[in-house]
Amino acid sequence: MMKKIFTSVLLLAACAYANAQKVQVLDRCESLGEKPTQWYSNGSQTKLSEDHKEGTYAISAKTEKAERLRKIYGQPFNTGVTKDNGYIAFWLFVERPELLNGNGQLALSSNASADKDAYGYPFGGLKIGSTKLVAGWNHVIAPLSSFKDIHDQPNLTAINYFRILLYNEKDDLTAQEIKIDNIRFSTDKAQLEASAK
């Protein structure tokens, strides 16, 4: 009897461990980092925000420039997924989505650049994946199978660059705050949804 209980406990622990491994966290957004591997926003200083969705902080920038947030990672990151089976998920705060023109891009690269060895995910309308952007926090999940190659495919076992672009309507230079938190990958969309709660 004790042996059966012990075996059951081991199996439960193994299952819990396997489930925990399904979500790979690229960035919890708890630190700005240090040059040259730090969060950066074109035309604005990035900062830590106590308005967050996970942990203690989120990364924030207030700018009208298209390049809202990007980061080069000093250590290549293994996403644990392929383009065919993987998803990326993160929390995105948009202060005023009505200022955006519906264009933009999410870029991932293994060459520390959005211009080589990169995938790009174009935003359609005001949607990223199946997430329609609203004012405030949005939980975004996008399938990597929908990403397009940008000058060769990135190595998903060695990602070292993340960038998000959001464009304002033409000639509208109104600055707005954008925040990001808890960037992660998984082959299991349900696990990503669960890990957002």
Q: What is the pLDDT of residues 18-73, one digit of tens each?
A: 444 589 999 999 999 988 889 999 877 899 999 999 999 999 999 888 888 999 99
| pLDDT, tens only, 80-92 | 999 999 999 999 9
Distance CA 138, CA 149 (A): 26
List, in order, residues 6 or more apart from 22 with CB less than 8 Å away: 186, 187, 188, 191
Chain center to CA of 131: 13
User: Residue 16: its pLDDT value, please?
Assistant: 45
The answer on pLDDT for 182 being more than 50 is yes
Counting every residue, how long is the chain?
197
* Predicted confidence (pLDDT) per residue in 106-144, tens digit: 999 999 988 889 999 888 777 877 888 999 999 999 999
For the chain, the average pLDDT equals 86
Written as six digits, the tokens of 173 are: 């230079």
CB 105 within 8 A of CB 123: yes
Q: Closest by alpha carbon to 47, among 65, 29, 35, 64?
A: 29
Report strand pairing: 67-77 vs 37-40. Answer: antiparallel
pLDDT at 13: 45
Cβ pair 73, 163 in contact under 8 A: no
* Residues of the chain above pLDDT 90, percent: 54
pTM: predicted TM-score of the whole model, two decimal places: 0.85
Lowest mean pLDDT, pick from 18-32, 65-79, 157-171, 179-193: 18-32
Three-state SS for 141? strand
- Kindly state the percentage of the chain with pLDDT values over 70: 89
- CA angle 40/153/195 to nearest 5° reads 60
* Overall average pLDDT of the 173-181 stretch: 91
Distance from C-alpha of 142 to C-alpha of 131, rounded to nearest angstrom: 8
